Amino acid sequence: MSIRAYAAHAPTTPLVPFAISRREPRPTDVDIEILYCGVCHSDLHFARNEWGMTTFPVVPGHEILGRVTRVGGSVTKVRPGDLAAVGCMVDACRTCEPCQRGLEQFCLNGAIFTYNGEDRHSGGLTYGGYSQRIVVDEAFTLRVPAGLDPAGAAPLLCAGITTYSPLRRWNAGKGRKVGVVGLGGLGHMGVRFAHAFGAHTVLFTTSPGKAEDGRRLGADEVVMSRDADAMARHAGSFDVILDTVSADHDINAYLSLLRLDGTLVLVGAPPAPLALSAFSVLFPRRQVVGSLIGGIAETQEMLDFCGAHRITCDVELIRMDQINDAYERLLRSDVRYRFVIDMASLAE
């Protein structure tokens, strides 16, 4: 079936209307009318080929929330009329060791990402959520808890799970001191989750104007990271620091704040390698790790947690035809804290 979408055709050209095809549902497929799609910074990176891996034309969007319209005969997870979500993946081999552990994002045979991936069913590329509909195997479809604002829930599919997963893995709970570096699309969710898990939560920001927001979101303390004295007062005291910054910055300044066996988790993706001093990790046995979204089971766990605690993202709704302006605003950090496209505008 042919549907409307928005695509980038080259790194230097704007996104424009584009017709794509979706397959007819197979027995295990779910056909979803997309209601809202979050705008991730990764979308911009791919549209402009900033990571050097884009195949054009590309239809971005992997924070997808919509309503089920049709299901295949073998589907049991959702029914027509249900709200459902699709995140960063639409398939994986399901047989390798990571897949068997519920870590499909690390599939040894290559996870199939929601856009710019290999479409194993229809051929060609996968196309993302900047479109009217999507057809996905039910194994990669997620249930949306009742009571969540659907627009605010859409970015949970990337910004939410990207921060939830490492905070859970490195035990950011009661009795722990957790730092979150940066208050953007990822950082504001990191603060919310760390607070909800019961950790003593500290926000690090370079923007004094974000201090009030940080406290509103759940930070117990806000530290201006350019204030050397304020940073020094926290030396050697953190169990976990979640670094969400995607620009060049000094990670050694944050490593010095970790206690023995403390962990700095990188979830931002700066374009250039970060400089790491060996002495920042030698004393006193600190570690730097990375984290990439979560598997399907953990993503459902995250959505259920958000449903129980009424956690959503702070969003600004835009029309589909405002996406190029939104990208320019993203580059200026002019959004608090996530753009979400009202996909009804694509049908107008």
- The single residue listed with the structure tokens 């005291």 is 237
* pLDDT of amino acid 269: 86
For residue 68, the model assigns a pLDDT of 98
Kindly list the structural domains of the chain, giving each domain's residue range(s) and its CATH number in brackets, ordered by start: 2-158+294-347 (3.90.180.10), 162-290 (3.40.50.720)
* Residue 270, pLDDT score: 86
- Cβ atoms of 221 and 179 within 8 Å: the answer is no
Distance CA 83, CA 299 (A): 15
Ordered per-residue pLDDT tens for the chain, 348 residues: 789 999 999 999 999 999 999 999 999 999 999 999 999 999 999 999 998 999 999 999 999 999 999 999 999 999 999 999 999 999 999 999 999 999 999 999 999 999 999 998 888 999 999 999 999 999 999 999 999 999 999 999 999 999 999 999 999 999 999 999 999 999 999 999 999 999 999 999 999 999 999 999 999 999 999 999 999 999 999 999 999 998 899 999 999 999 999 999 999 988 889 999 999 999 889 999 999 999 999 999 999 999 999 999 999 999 999 999 999 999 998 999 999 999 999 987
- Alpha-carbon gap, residue 149 to 303, rounded angstroms: 12
Residue closest to 167 by CA, chosen among 147, 146, 186, 148 = 186
The helix, strand and coil proportions of the chain, stated in percent and rounded to the nearest 5, come to 30, 25, 45
pTM of the model: 0.96
pLDDT of residue 14: 97
Name beta bridge partners: 302: none
pLDDT score, position 37 = 98
- The SS3 assignment for 253 reads helix
- Is residue 286 within 8 A of residue 277, CB to CB? The reply is no
Task: Characterize 213-240 residue by residue with b for buried, 16 or more Cβ atoms within 10 angstroms of its Cβ, and e for exposed.
Answer: bbeebbbbbbbbbeeeeebeebeeebbb
* Strands, E assignment, the chain: 2-7, 16-21, 29-39, 64-71, 83-86, 89-91, 112-113, 133-137, 142-143, 177-181, 200-205, 221-224, 238-243, 258-266, 287-290, 315-318, 338-342
